[in-house]
Amino acid sequence: MKQQVADRMQGISAFYVMELLQHAKQLEREGRDIIHMEIGEPDFPTPQGVIAAGRALLKTGDVKYTAAAGLPELRGSIAEHYRRQYGVQLDPGRVFVTPGASGAFLLAFGISLNPGEQVMMADPCYPCNDNFVRLFNGQTHFVDVDAGSEYQLTADLIAKNWRPNSKGVLVASPSNPTGTLLSGEDLKRAIDQVHELGGCFYSDEIYHGLVYDQPAMSALAYSDDAFVINSFSKFFGMTGWRVGWLVVPEDFVEAAEKLAQNIFISTPTHSQYAALASFTEENLAELERRRLEFKARRDFLYDSLLKLGFKIACKPEGAFYIYADCSAFTDNSFGFARDLLEQEGVAVTPGRDFGQYLADKHIRFAYTASMDRMAAALTRLERFICR
């Protein structure tokens, strides 16, 4: 008898960039020089102090399970981070250390979302968020956003698009793929609107720290009832260590503890000890140096793409992406990305990975390559579009 895949998998979308990445890796194995501007992974190595902390734990051999919610010392350090960074007094008991931000999303939706309920998200947005909702038999309500709202869900858009089965709203500030921010005032208005409607507010803050022109504010500065997702992957440069965290409202602490025990047991112990070293003064100074390098890369890539004829509706204020309109060159951004990789060895991400709205007219460029490598990529890109 043929076994059947679960029905929920019919709605789980593929990550198109992974197809391009797989092809890029194959081209590299064949000896081609590929410049990677497709994957949201910093090119900087894990800071040495963080590596040393993880190695020190491994050398003891005492790599046992931690509590499901995470090391008490790490939860406390995360809470202290909110006090220093945002002036927020946070009970460490509301902090749950998770296997990456993906684990935080699974925990947040698992304890709050019922089958058939909807979560509102911007289109474009990070594609896996929709799949996390679908995994719990929820529904995603995508709202088209553009430069008029700086690609963000504002209080007015939330009120206009709220439905009877809406459970809540997910915002990402800074966002992927656009790198735009909600100002503190707009973030507060959005939170107040969702709470007035009786919903849950989910705040994706995984690119906090990587901001360049104005500070990013945490939802926790305006509400104790928000679900806040963050990670050590992006600003802290620990992608492969798989450590994230979730801050939950007080009423959800017990449920989060129970679900974490069942689906994670715990986040890798050596990774948690490594993450503890992220908050040292020395490490934070190194991360600030990297932030300034990302800012310089942003400015260089932004100016260069405009000169080549790309349109960029909003200059990114955070993260490490530029979402560029490529309609001057193509009406099929996926085909553009595929051909650019094949012909010139430059890997970028097509808009269809981030939703439906004007997706065929957009490309995401990640400035996670060095300035020299980006300069080489731009030379190849110019040659490609001039053919």
Q: What's the pLDDT band for 2 if we cut at 50, 70, 90? A: confident
Rounded to the nearest integer, the mean pLDDT of the chain is: 96
Residues 6+ apart with CB under 8 A from 8: 134, 135, 137
Q: Higher pLDDT residue, 315 or 7? A: 315
Tell me the pLDDT tens digit for each residue of 56-100. 999 999 999 999 999 999 999 999 999 999 999 999 999 999 999
Q: Where does the chain have alpha helices with state H? A: 16-29, 48-60, 72-86, 100-112, 128-135, 155-161, 184-196, 253-263, 269-276, 281-308, 333-344, 371-385
Q: What's the pLDDT band for 6 if we cut at 50, 70, 90? A: confident
**Cβ pair 97, 70 in contact under 8 A:** yes
DSSP conformation class of 217 = P
pTM summary value: 0.96
Short-list 125, 127, 126, 131, CA closest to 143: 125
pLDDT for res 284? 97
pLDDT for res 104? 98
pLDDT for res 125? 96
Rounded to whole angstroms, the Cα distance separating 315 from 349 reads 18
- What length is written for the chain? 387
Average pLDDT over residues 310-326: 97
**Cβ pair 129, 177 in contact under 8 A:** no
Q: Cis before residue 127, ω within 30 degrees of 0?
A: no
Q: What's the pLDDT band for 54 if we cut at 50, 70, 90? A: very high
pLDDT for res 101? 97
Residues 6+ apart with CB under 8 A from 282: 49
pLDDT for res 14? 74
Long-range contact set of residues 108-111: C-beta below 8 Å, sequence gap at least 24: 108/202, 108/227, 108/229, 108/246, 108/248, 109/133, 109/135, 109/136, 109/138, 110/136, 110/259, 110/263, 111/248, 111/252, 111/255, 111/256, 111/259
% pLDDT > 70, the chain: 100
DSSP 345-371: -EE-EEGGGG-STTGGGEEEEE--S-H
DSSP conformation class of 62 = -
Q: What's the pLDDT band for 127 if we cut at 50, 70, 90? A: confident
HSE toward the beta carbon, residue 146, CA cutoff 13 A = 9
Can you state the percent helix, strand and coil of the chain, rounding each to 5? 50, 15, 35
Q: What's the pLDDT band for 10 if we cut at 50, 70, 90? A: confident
Tell me the pLDDT tens digit for each residue of 245-286. 999 999 999 999 999 999 999 999 999 999 999 999 999 999
pLDDT for res 43? 92
pLDDT for res 39? 85
Rounded to whole angstroms, the Cα distance separating 197 from 219 reads 17
Rounded to whole angstroms, the Cα distance separating 120 from 171 reads 9
Helix (H, G, I), strand (E, B) or coil at 96: strand
Tell me the pLDDT tens digit for each residue of 148-183. 999 999 999 999 999 999 999 999 999 999 999 999
pLDDT for res 23? 87
Q: Where does 87-127 have alpha helices with state H? A: 100-112
Rounded to whole angstroms, the Cα distance separating 96 from 125 reads 24
Helix (H, G, I), strand (E, B) or coil at 140: strand
Q: What's the pLDDT band for 21 if we cut at 50, 70, 90? A: confident
Helix (H, G, I), strand (E, B) or coil at 172: strand
**Cβ pair 38, 348 in contact under 8 A:** yes
Token code pair at residue 359: 């997706």
